Amino acid sequence: MIRFDRVTVTYDGAPTPALADVDLEIPEGELCLAVGPTGSGKSTLLRAVNGLVPRFSGGHLAGTVSVDGRSTATYPPRDLADVVGYVGQDPAGGFVTDTVEEELAYVMENLGVDAATMRRRVEDALDLLGLARLRDRPLQHLSSGERQRVAIGAALTAHPRALVLDEPTSALDPGGAEEVLAALTRLVHDVGTTVLLAEHRLERVVGDADAVVVVHGARAERGAPATMLARAPVAPPVVELGRLCHWDPVPLSVRDARRAAADLRRQLDGVALPAMRRAPGEVAVSARHVSAAYGRTVVLDDLDLEVRHGELVAVMGRNGSGKSTLLALIAGLRAPNAGRLEVAGLVPSAVAPRELVRQVGLVPSDPGLLLYRDTVRAECAAADGDTGLAPGTTAALAERLVPGLDPQRHPRDLSEGQRLGLALAVVLAAGPPVLLLDEPTRGLDYDAKRHLAGVLDDLVRAGHAVVVVSHDVEFVARVADRAVVLADSHVVADGPARDVVCHSPVLAPQVAKVLAPAPWMTVDEVAAALQLRGVS
């Protein structure tokens, strides 16, 4: 179905190819997962399937990419829309209509599909992706996860033979991710659709994959999931746990890991769990009886919340539960409809922006909103100058978060993970007393997340207050002191992260599920405990 024949992609001005001599075939009716470090070329591989590379990205493509017998050299993306559906990392960037239902119908209108068929396919997409209650909702009022599902639905309504998805679950809550992956699996098994997707949260996807393509060092190699992930440069927690414990074969699912973990549970029995990471200080953010609404839709209702200096609070919950709105209130981007919210004794919405940015730093879910210079070097230099930092401070932090950034690249030409790393560096380098991060791990591989966790740990230990909105339960397990869960516009859980997430079948990290009822959360915790026991 999808064929790469000796494909090499080189971007203008790049010293080396993004992909080199790739030979790859993905058959009909297969769910194939592309994995690799941030910036390894996964997005280039995916965008080459429907001709976006090189027709829109620039650069040069040598070799042949074909889908269902159509070569991308002959057929432009618009003439491949009936055989290839593509959803990129920024789904909202491809929206062209105003409401959910209109967006689902748009591709079919361009393909000349008759009205009766359009109606049926729109209803199918609404049901398949849980969007029926949003059918008349303006796209601009959707959460990032809801936008992701709409984009996938819009691609599906054309009934493509192949579906290409770049980070399809990155903006989805765990339950929403399971629903989308179940829908994709149903398409593969029942309809014979070929699905090629790239995903950094491998723990969500690998159990459903028929094959894995490892993209690393500009090369791409395809094989069975267990074989490829046993030696891949990135791997989900259950695979890392299997490597630590020398399980053979390494498990790909929590179920397989639990079956292999009987001896591990005995070795950990009686070992004390790690103590709470940090002791919080004085109140940095205070919300009292805060409510917020968009028109008649109430997203936060009578919310009480405190965030203290020296703690990292993770805010979790379903898509549309008000998490990003809470960050917007703290950052002064909007005023609450009722109640009082203060940051360092100030009312954010009443403070001049120039004064507020000295107190609060926000990295939004779309990091590109913070980047407006022509090169990476210029972005870093501007951030140093704007905040009075020593030259090179922001660049050094960016290198720590996403190593290997080309200082001459334009930010828009970076991968999503690299662009996020650069935006994080721009905000984090100044070390604002209150730091707000909205889905900060989108597009980041496991190593990049470890580096980010280290940076946040340094800031929190220095007394900063950090609020992270995230659906990434593995990252929350690694970094959070407290977890706050929002649902139906209210706080439904607030407490130590281990207590909140480990007892939830939806929010628990993989290690907690494998070793339940003992609430271990990360592979690093297990490794440290085994070391204490003298087990290698």
| Sequence ranges of the domains in the chain | 2-234, 283-518
Peptide bond into 496 cis (omega under 30): no
pLDDT tens track for 422-437: 999 999 888 899 999 9
3-state secondary structure string, 116-128? Answer: HHHHHHHHHHHHH
Q: How many residues does the chain have?
A: 536
Q: Which residues contact 269 (CB under 8 A, 6 or more apart)?
A: 518
Q: Do domains 2-234 and 283-518 have the same CATH topology?
A: yes
* The model's pTM: 0.86
User: Which pLDDT score is estimated for 442?
Assistant: 86
CATH superfamily of 2-234: P-loop containing nucleotide triphosphate hydrolases (3.40.50.300)
Q: Tell me: domain 283-518, CATH 3.40.50.300, correct?
A: yes
Is it the case that residue 441 has pLDDT exceeding 70?
yes
CB contact at 8 A, 310 and 276: no
Q: Amino acid letter at 129?
A: L
Q: What angle is formed at CA 285 by the lines to CA 321 and CA 460, rounded to 5 degrees?
A: 100
Dihedral angle, C-alpha 236, 242, 243, 248, nearest 10 °: -130
Distance CA 28, CA 187 (A): 11
Confidence of residue 277 (pLDDT cuts 50, 70, 90): low
pLDDT tens track for 325-378: 999 999 999 999 999 999 988 999 998 887 888 899 999 988 888 999 999 999
Give the pLDDT mean for 513-533: 93
pLDDT tens track for 15-64: 899 999 999 999 999 999 999 998 899 999 999 999 999 999 889 999 99
Q: Could you identify the residue written with the tokens 């946040």?
A: 456
| DSSP run (H or E) holding 324 | helix 323-330
